[in-house]
Structure 1
Amino acid sequence: MQYLLDNFFALTITGLTLGAVYALVALGYTLVYGVLRLINFAHSEVFMYGTFACLWIVVFLGGKAGGSLGNVIFWIAAMFVAAMLMSGLIAVLLERFAYRPLRKRNAPPLIALISAIGASFVLSELMGLRQQITGAVGFDTYLRAYVANSRNNTGMPEVFSPQPVFTLVDYQVTNVDIFVIVGAIVLMVILDQFVKRSRLGRGIRAVAMDPEAAALMGVNRDRVIQVTFLVGGVMAGAAAVFYMLKIGITRYDVGFILGVKAFTAAVLGGIGNLRGALLGGFVLGLAENYGSALVGTQWKDVVAFVLLILILLFRPTGLLGESLGKARA
């Protein structure tokens, strides 16, 4: 308890920073569940591919630490473009080849869930075996910087150096902390307004509410579902950028535990609720940090999963509990 009290503000800021990443990944689970009633467990790998896109674009362009403000903006913009494109592409391909054929055959939900788990392992192992795959076709020499040590941790060159901005009691809040937290909130507001006000957003809500009635009203369900996966993938790509700026290390299975925690955040806030995903992410990040301060950092993951069990037992609809289909117009 004393450790928690002594480091309360440090634990709070770092918890919010990590919670922002959880929240953005949780949006993908929330969107897909709201429209298809499917838990897309492969979404964690969509995030993982975004982290590698950040790493690869920085390596390809020869990123270095320091430099002018314009330099930093360039690197961050390049990371966002690469990660969002990569994650969005993986999400769309996932929908096209893993889920749409099952949907066309009216497969039971359990089959789609098994397909999601299988797709998760396939995507993860493809990244983990990239050195062997490129070696088999003779490209490993040319792509050594991108495929070497494919099953080990891979660090990204630091292009946005953390600098203290202000002191909150005993913790120096850095520019990276502020950028991640504020960035997540801004992206959440943009997505919320997109779903509420745009034509595609209204289509997403219509399909989530009543797919048959939406189809009768001229809504192209396949297009809406594709856009839903794309938007979820783009948000996961943004989360990957924030994660790499804060953590700076990725690997082929980085999405596994983080994806489960993001799913926990989605359930905590109310799965199918966009604002609930943001709230759930922040609450989970704080709960993890406070819990690990009380019982030890080795129990950090346990805290998240215990919280998931408690939510499912006592409030299965989550903190906000409003589904995407019932979102206010």
Structure 2
Amino acid sequence: MFNDLTQQFLPSTIGGLTIGAIYALVALGYTMVYGVLRLINFAHSEIFMIGSYASLFVIISVGVTAPLTGIALLGLLILLIVVSAAVAGGSAILLEVVAYRPLRRRGAPRLAALISAIGASLFLQELFALFIIPDVFGRPGRIDTAVPRIVDRDVLFTIGNAQVRTDQVIVLLAAVIVMILLDQLVARTRIGRGIRATAQDPEAAVLMGVNIDTIVRLTFLLGGAMAGVAGVLYAMEFENLRFNIGFILGIKAFTAAVLGGIGNIRGALLGGIALGLIENWGAIFFGSQWKDVIAFVILVVVLLFRPTGILGESLQKARA
């Protein structure tokens, strides 16, 4: 038994880091919106789904039928990330305008916004299942949609008994680069200062000349763009999409945000990686069929014993 565990540990760690990076990118959208509006945007999982299908649309439009390498692969990945981030970010802004802004301007309670988020989530799922997937992709909306392979799964190097594939390295590198860019944008730019000021004290931010509506739009845009990037990496890694792929993954990403500290950008990154690792390590002991259960148990335990998460620092406390 012990030998089996040691044999599986390193491969499970590599897999955990890969899926954890995707969780972290999606968790960023949850944590940024919560930090600014104190709102749990449960429709964010469908923004991730939209980004995934946007990447599939680009792959089909370009006509990729075999894995790419070198400059061709790099160019396609950049195109996929730009298009999916733009589509997902734009969808997130539209979601804010339609589902949240009218409630916010009327001073509606947060429960109303939560109900609106759930309604928007179900609407987007059914919209894709009934119309978008059949009409745009010509495939039944409630059946899994295959994604053409764009990168070979060659083994680049080994760590102990763990083989590290090309696709895993791409996922990790892309996720880390995007995370660092977002962290620096929030920490060092004028837009970031506006986001932090709004998160800390909206009334004072208005007195200082901050346009709250603009900051809210930018927050949804950035969070949606992160979900779009996650959608590209998910489609490339798992090569399989479905109209409701965001449901379970969205809950796990929310768990990651809570685990790291909801409202904390670096906490979302830490929480996503930690959740991916814990899931995969837990699967060694209990089997892969228990991965989802492990994630939800973690959510309950964190809420019971450390509701502020690992870091516990909100967005407004980020360094000025």
TM-score of the aligned structures, taking structure 2 as reference length: 0.97
Q: Structure 1 residues 185 and 41, CA, compared in 2 at 3 Å: closer, same or farther?
A: same
Is 1:319 the counterpart of 2:310? The answer is yes
Do the aligned residues in 2 keep the contact of 1:90 with 1:233 (CA within 8 Å)? yes
Q: Name the structure 2 match of 1:208.
A: 199
SS at match of 2:64: coil
> Which consecutive segments of 4 or more residues in structure 1 shift more than 4 A?
none
Is 1:231 the counterpart of 2:222? The answer is yes
User: Separation in 1 of the partners of 2:29 and 2:20?
Assistant: 15
Instruction: After TM superposition, give the deviation of residue 5 of structure 1 in Å.
Output: 2.1
**In the TM superposition, what are the counterparts of 1:78-93 in structure 2 within 5 Å?**
78-93=79-94
User: Separation in 1 of the partners of 2:273 and 2:138?
Assistant: 34
Q: Name the structure 1 match of 2:24.
A: 23
User: Separation in 1 of the partners of 2:284 and 2:231?
Assistant: 26
Q: Name the structure 1 match of 2:128.
A: 127
Q: Name the structure 2 match of 1:194.
A: 185
User: Separation in 1 of the partners of 2:117 and 2:277?
Assistant: 29
Letter in 2 for 1:171: A
Letter in 1 for 2:112: I
Instruction: After TM superposition, give the deviation of residue 161 of structure 1 in Å.
Output: 1.4
Superimposed CA distance per residue, residues 50-91 of structure 1 (whole angstroms, 9 cap, x where no aligned partner):
110111111111112234412212221221122112111110
Is 1:170 the counterpart of 2:161? The answer is yes
Counterpart among 221, 236, 244 of residue 245 in structure 1: 236
Is 1:11 the counterpart of 2:12? The answer is yes
Instruction: After TM superposition, give the deviation of residue 237 of structure 1 in Å.
Output: 0.6
User: Separation in 2 of the partners of 1:320 and 1:178?
Assistant: 27
User: Separation in 1 of the partners of 2:184 and 2:7?
Assistant: 40
Higher mean C-alpha deviation, range 216-225 or range 73-82: 73-82
Instruction: After TM superposition, give the deviation of residue 231 of structure 1 in Å.
Output: 0.2
User: Separation in 2 of the partners of 1:260 and 1:307?
Assistant: 12
Letter in 1 for 2:13: T
Letter in 2 for 1:323: S
Letter in 2 for 1:30: T
Superimposed CA distance per residue, residues 207-230 of structure 1 (whole angstroms, 9 cap, x where no aligned partner):
000000001111000000000000
Higher mean C-alpha deviation, range 250-259 or range 161-170: 161-170
Is 1:102 the counterpart of 2:103? The answer is yes
User: Separation in 2 of the partners of 1:247 and 1:107?
Assistant: 40
Q: Name the structure 2 match of 1:217.
A: 208
Structure 2: stretches of 5+ with no match in the other structure = none
Higher mean C-alpha deviation, range 1-10 or range 146-155: 1-10
User: Separation in 2 of the partners of 1:308 and 1:279?
Assistant: 15
SS at match of 1:7: helix
Q: Structure 1 residues 50 and 203, CA, compared in 2 at 3 Å: closer, same or farther?
A: same
Q: Name the structure 2 match of 1:303.
A: 294
Q: CA RMSD in A?
A: 1.3
Q: Name the structure 2 match of 1:137.
A: none
User: Separation in 2 of the partners of 1:291 and 1:237?
Assistant: 28
Do the aligned residues in 1 keep the contact of 2:64 with 2:150 (CA within 8 Å)? yes
Instruction: After TM superposition, give the deviation of residue 287 of structure 1 in Å.
Output: 0.6
User: Separation in 2 of the partners of 1:187 and 1:201?
Assistant: 15
User: Separation in 1 of the partners of 2:161 and 2:206?
Assistant: 57
Percent of aligned pairs with the same residue? Answer: 54
Instruction: After TM superposition, give the deviation of residue 257 of structure 1 in Å.
Output: 0.1
User: Separation in 2 of the partners of 1:296 and 1:200?
Assistant: 45
Do the aligned residues in 2 keep the contact of 1:46 with 1:90 (CA within 8 Å)? yes
Q: Name the structure 1 match of 2:171.
A: 180
